[in-house]
Structure 1
Amino acid sequence: MNNEELKEIRRQYKKKNKNFNIYRVAYSYVIPAIPETQIPSFEIKDWEDFREAEQEIFLSIFKKALSGKIGKNLMEYEFEREAGQENGYQKKLYTLNKSLLKDEELVTKLRDEIIANDGFNQKHLITIASCEYLVPVLDKNGEVIPDSAPMPFQFLLGCINEVDLTDIGLFYNPDTANMEKKIDEDMHVLPKVLDGFMFPVFADRGADISRLLYFTAKPKEPNDGLIEVLCGREAELPYDREQQNFAGLISDLAQDELSLQLIQNLQENVREMISENPDSEAFSLSKNEMENLLSNSGISEQKMDRFSAVYDNQVGKEELKAVNMIDTSKLAVKMNGITVNVKGDVSDKVKTQVVDGKRYLMIEVDEGLIVNGIDMIK
Structure 2
Amino acid sequence: MNEKEVSEIRRRFRPDKSNITRVRACYVNEKREIVSQFEQSLAVTPQEESERILALLKRTLSGTLGKNLIDVEFSTGQVAGSDEHRLLMALRNSSLKDEEAVQALYQKVIGSLSIEGDYLILLTHDTYDVPYRSKDGQRQDDASSEVFSYILCSICPVKMTKPALSYYAHDDRFHSREADWLVAPPELGFLFPAFDDRCTNIYNALYYTRSVSENHQELADALFHLEIPMPAAAQKETFGEILGDALAGECSYEVVQSVHDELCGMIGEHKADRESEPLKVSRQEVRQVLESCGVSDEHVEAFERRYEAEFGADIGLSPKNLVDTRQLELRTPDVTIKVNPERSDLVETRIINGVKYILIRANDGVEVNGVAIHISESAHV
* TM-score, normalization by structure 2: 0.80
Q: How does 1:44-83 map to 2 (within 5 A)?
A: 44-82=39-77
Aligned to 2:378: none
Aligned to 1:194: 187
Cα distance change on mapping 1:11 and 1:238 into 2, 3 Å: same
The answer to whether the Cα contact below 8 Å between 1:201 and 1:207 also exists between their aligned partners in 2 is yes
Cα distance change on mapping 1:219 and 1:318 into 2, 3 Å: farther
Q: Following TM superposition, by how much is the alpha carbon of 1:331 offset from its aligned partner in structure 2, in angstroms?
A: 2.6
Aligned to 1:26: 24
Q: Which moved more, 1:52-61 or 1:296-305?
A: 296-305
Measured in 2, the distance between the counterparts of 1:167 and 1:86 equals: 49
Q: Following TM superposition, by how much is the alpha carbon of 1:81 offset from its aligned partner in structure 2, in angstroms?
A: 3.4
Point out where structure 1 has 5 or more consecutive residues left out of the alignment: none
Q: Give the length in aligned residue pairs.
A: 364
Cα distance change on mapping 1:241 and 1:101 into 2, 3 Å: same
Aligned to 2:118: 123
Secondary structure of the 2:62 match is coil
Aligned to 1:333: 330
- Are residues 1:142 and 2:137 paired? yes
The answer to whether the Cα contact below 8 Å between 2:255 and 2:290 also exists between their aligned partners in 1 is no
Aligned to 1:10: 10
Measured in 2, the distance between the counterparts of 1:318 and 1:39 equals: 43
State which of 300, 306, 321 in structure 1 corresponds to 2:302.
Answer: 306
Q: Following TM superposition, by how much is the alpha carbon of 1:130 offset from its aligned partner in structure 2, in angstroms?
A: 0.6
Aligned to 1:229: 222
The answer to whether the Cα contact below 8 Å between 2:349 and 2:357 also exists between their aligned partners in 1 is yes
State which of 156, 169, 173 in structure 2 corresponds to 1:161.
Answer: 156
Measured in 2, the distance between the counterparts of 1:192 and 1:146 equals: 32
State which of 241, 251, 260 in structure 1 corresponds to 2:234.
Answer: 241
Aligned to 2:340: 342
Q: Following TM superposition, by how much is the alpha carbon of 1:133 offset from its aligned partner in structure 2, in angstroms?
A: 3.3
Q: Following TM superposition, by how much is the alpha carbon of 1:166 offset from its aligned partner in structure 2, in angstroms?
A: 4.2
Structure 1: which amino acid aligns with 2:83? G
4+ long deviations beyond 6 Å: 173-178
Q: What RMSD, in angstroms, separates the aligned Cα atoms of the two structures?
A: 3.6
The answer to whether the Cα contact below 8 Å between 2:264 and 2:323 also exists between their aligned partners in 1 is no
Aligned to 1:213: 206
- The sequence identity of aligned pairs, in percent, is 25
The answer to whether the Cα contact below 8 Å between 1:349 and 1:364 also exists between their aligned partners in 2 is no
The answer to whether the Cα contact below 8 Å between 2:79 and 2:85 also exists between their aligned partners in 1 is no
Aligned to 1:359: 357
Secondary structure of the 2:235 match is helix
Structure 2: which amino acid aligns with 1:294? L
Measured in 2, the distance between the counterparts of 1:273 and 1:90 equals: 36
Aligned to 1:108: 103
Secondary structure of the 1:193 match is coil
The answer to whether the Cα contact below 8 Å between 2:246 and 2:302 also exists between their aligned partners in 1 is yes
Q: Which moved more, 1:222-231 or 1:305-314?
A: 305-314
Q: Which moved more, 1:175-184 or 1:43-52?
A: 175-184
Q: Following TM superposition, by how much is the alpha carbon of 1:176 offset from its aligned partner in structure 2, in angstroms?
A: 11
The answer to whether the Cα contact below 8 Å between 2:244 and 2:251 also exists between their aligned partners in 1 is yes
